[in-house]
């Protein structure tokens, strides 16, 4: 039993070290935002809204918002580990606001 327990602890430590190494290997600290599966539709919804707004208004500001939403969506989808999305802190703040607004309105 003790050997099994120690093997489990070693495995957990190796997993923890490998997970942290993969997340920080780009030398940029990434922050866990949320569960990717439960919140990906909220990010796609925001991206769709910005796309529609850009086509309706046809202003540079609206297109800049759309390109920003594309960038946030790419960041949200690119660093998923164990079902959790990781992004940089400025993106973390924006994505949390987007998801919070979606939850508030639904």
The closest alpha carbon to 26, from 81, 69, 105, 83, belongs to 81
* pLDDT lower than 70: segments of the chain: 1-26
The closest alpha carbon to 66, from 51, 77, 78, 79, belongs to 51
- Tell me what pLDDT residue 25 has: 54
Spatial separation of the C-alpha atoms in residues 99 and 35, rounded to whole Å: 11
């Amino acid at each position: 039993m003790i050997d099994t327990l120690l093997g489990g602890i070693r495995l957990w430590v190796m997993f923890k070290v490998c997970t942290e190494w993969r997340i920080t290997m780009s030398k940029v600290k990434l922050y866990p935002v949320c569960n990717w599966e439960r919140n990906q539709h909220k990010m796609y919804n925001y991206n769709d809204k910005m796309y529609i707004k850009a086509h309706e208004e046809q202003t540079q500001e609206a297109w800049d918002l759309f390109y920003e939403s594309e960038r946030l969506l790419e960041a949200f989808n690119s660093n998923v580990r164990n079902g959790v999305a990781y992004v940089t802190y400025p993106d973390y703040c924006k994505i949390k606001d987007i998801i919070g607004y979606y939850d508030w309105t639904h």
